Amino acid sequence: MSDQAVETQDLVREYKGGVKAVDGVSLTVESGGIFGFLGPNGAGKSTMVRMLTTLLRPTSGTAIVAGHDVMKEPGVVRRRIGVALQDAAIDPYMTGRELLRLQGVLHGMKRAECRARADVLLGRVDLEDAADRRVGTYSGGMRRRLDLALSLVHEPVVLFLDEPTTGLDPVSRVTLWDEVRRLNVEHGTTVFLTTQYLEEADQLADRVAIIDGGQIVADGTPKALKAGIGHPLLSVVAAEGSTPDDVARVLAGFGEMVPGAREGGAAVRLPGGSTAMADAVRALDDAGVRFAEIDLAEPTLDDVFLASTGRHLAGSDDATA
């Protein structure tokens, strides 16, 4: 077995009219981890997943998934991957158990095997009580958990989750995160997850790639990506009797200034981290500059996104709130 769960070379998908939804993506996802594919709506995440899961033919480039070429051996790839796509399309008129058994049949499993596997998975995602109810009566979180279970019927090597928590309430989201983590740790399943939520990528993924306009703009561990942005940002708001310029004059001695980052005050990147913050406070005091607010912010993936694209990740604030 290959060490790479996913490996793409210059992958391109062009739609009618010449729009390139995915524009030359080369990506390597190693086996065993949780990979977060982060990007705003329409960045090309779903197109990418559809190509990797054999649902869409790439216009050019190659993609090896679970050790096999998606174009040359789609059948083998399909046997080795699990897929839970965006807006979990589940028949509202079927019960969870029926759907799980059908999924087993689709994977060529024997009757008894389907039954046994359905029971195990229902227990795993905590849907035993709802197993014989029609899916139409499920809550959003229950549907996503069922969708997850469906993608696990054949014990896939690589699991693709396309925006698994979009539209879920915070509690259901955390439940699903735990499930994905457990899957990764206990069963060693590689997870390829797309998301538009920074927090989700930050919490779950041990590696993140950021896609924008069909191209990868950043790729690495969340920690390395954030470190790449630079040092924590100290921002200070001037109080009555002092001006933002007073604040700025003092802070300028501590590192690189970030103009316009804080209204009514100033902000600086602190190479010394939180220890340097104490020095800065003292210096402000010594200079007689009065301040109303002070805070130290670690770089976030949004800063990474901002630095790579010049834009904030749309809706990231309310989405993670």
Residue placing its CB nearer to another protein in the complex, 56 or 267: 56
Closest CB 177 distance from another protein, rounded Å: 23
Please, are residues 162 and 194 in contact by the beta-carbon 8 Å criterion?
Answer: yes
- Beta-strand ranges (E) seen in 213-284 are 215-220, 233-238, 256-257, 265-269
Kindly give the pairing relationship between strand 158-162 and strand 81-84. Answer: parallel
Closest CB 185 distance from another protein, rounded Å: 25
Tokens found for residue 58: 């790439």
Kindly give the pairing relationship between strand 233-238 and strand 265-269. Answer: antiparallel
Residue placing its CB nearer to another protein in the complex, 90 or 281: 90
Residue placing its CB nearer to another protein in the complex, 102 or 261: 102
Closest CB 130 distance from another protein, rounded Å: 17
DSSP label at residue 152:
T
Interacting residues of 54 by C-beta distance below 8 A, sequence separation 6+: 70, 74, 77, 78
Closest CB 156 distance from another protein, rounded Å: 10
Q: What is the dihedral of CA 45, 218, 148, 178, to 10 degrees?
A: -150
Closest CB 83 distance from another protein, rounded Å: 4
Closest CB 163 distance from another protein, rounded Å: 13
Task: Note the residues at the interface with another protein (CB under 8 A).
Answer: 50, 53-57, 74-75, 78-79, 81, 83, 85-91, 93-94, 98, 102-103, 105-108, 134, 150
| Local structure of 193: helix, strand or coil | strand
Closest CB 249 distance from another protein, rounded Å: 58
Residue placing its CB nearer to another protein in the complex, 77 or 233: 77
Residue placing its CB nearer to another protein in the complex, 95 or 242: 95
Closest CB 73 distance from another protein, rounded Å: 11
Kindly give the pairing relationship between strand 158-162 and strand 190-195. Answer: parallel
Rounded Cα distance, 222 and 196, in Å = 15
Residue placing its CB nearer to another protein in the complex, 25 or 56: 56
Residue placing its CB nearer to another protein in the complex, 109 or 127: 109
Rounded Cα distance, 208 and 230, in Å = 18
**Partners of 64 in the β-ladder:** 7, 69
Please, are residues 85 and 49 in contact by the beta-carbon 8 Å criterion?
Answer: yes
Distance set, CA 274 to CA 225, 235, 271, 300, 303 (Å): 20, 12, 9, 16, 19
Residue placing its CB nearer to another protein in the complex, 30 or 73: 73
Please, are residues 93 and 134 in contact by the beta-carbon 8 Å criterion?
Answer: yes
